[in-house]
Structure 1
Amino acid sequence: MNRFCFVCGILVTALCCLSAAEAPHEESTSTIASTAPVESTTTSAKLPFQCSHHTVIDDPTRHILYNATRSCDDENLGWVRFIDRANNGRSMIIPTVQPPYLEHCGAVVPGWLKDFTYPTTIGTTVEASVCFDFVITGSTVRFCMYTIDIQITNCGHDFFVFNLPAAPRCNLRYCTI
């Protein structure tokens, strides 16, 4: 799993030590080069803190069609953004449809958003429940054995960040699509 720090929507490693009081809260775009000064433009849209301060997760094993089962989310992930670097850094989201199979997303039990619609207003943070499906032995009926409440923020530019607590046990994992 690759981890990066975003400050003002810029991928950086050296600026991650800024405190919350020092870090700007406006959406901006910048170009950083090793010897060039930073060029910046700022819009008037104020985004929530988590839109510029989150962990980026580029993990193709989280995709709902990935069928290995060796990972789990048994630690608090905090605010994260899922991306697919192999697909030009396209943003990924937690699916709102039940994954087609158990033992996908790199875990035994895949997590997805049941009865949820993503917010369309930029800067909006909403609550959602992640469902972790189980099947009773000898049955084909799947049901939500565990649910976890999370927060989701629409940060604009076609990306969302997720505040993800630890799953209640191993073999449960948040999926992406």
Structure 2
Amino acid sequence: MGPAGTQLLARSPGRHSVCGTAVPMWMNGAHPTAADGEVSRQVCTYWSGNPCWRETTIQVKACPAGFYVYKLPRAPHCNLAYCGDRGP
């Protein structure tokens, strides 16, 4: 496990300037199960008290071995970054 954890953060970070960036990006929705297959999820950016200031869509798949695979678009600006989480 790296310093960012093992999965995307699936809840609002509650503030900006976390996750090593000014504008954190987090997944708005639950992680899928392996039975769900590949699913689309909304990713929000937290900025200036707005937990979903900007949004984009990602693809997520749960693997039977207990990890997730993400298809993430490039962050649209250099001060935005995806937030990791250590999971449950």
User: Gaps (5+ residues) in structure 1?
Assistant: 1-56, 64-83, 85-91, 136-140
Moved over 6 A (4+): none
Alignment partner of 1:132 is 2:39: no
Report the residue type matching 1:93 in the other structure.
Answer: Q
> Comparing both chains, which one has the higher relative contact order based on Cα–Cα distances under 8 Å and sequence gaps of 6 or more?
2
Corresponding residue pairs, total? 85
Give the Cα separation in 1 of the matches to 2:12 and 2:51.
10
Q: For residue 106 of structure 1, what is the aligned residue in structure 2?
A: 20
CA distance in 1, matches of 2:80, 2:56: 11
Q: How much has 1:132 moved relative to structure 2? A: 0.5
Deviation per residue, 1:66-98 (Å, 9 max, x gap): xxxxxxxxxxxxxxxxxx5xxxxxxx1111111
- Checking the alignment, whether the CA contact within 8 Å between 2:14 and 2:46 is kept in structure 1 is no
1:176 aligns with 2:84: yes
SS in structure 1 of the partner of residue 61 of structure 2: strand
Would you say 1:97 and 2:11 are equivalent positions? yes
Greater share of strand residues, 1 or 2?
A: 2
Picking from 57, 72, 86, the partner of 1:149 is 57
Q: Please, which runs of 5 or more residues in structure 2 have no aligned partner?
A: none
Q: Distance in 2 between matches of 1:121 and 1:98?
A: 24
| TM-score normalised by L of structure 1 | 0.44
Larger radius of gyration: 1
Q: Which amino acid aligns with 2:8?
A: I
Percent identical pairs in the alignment equals 32
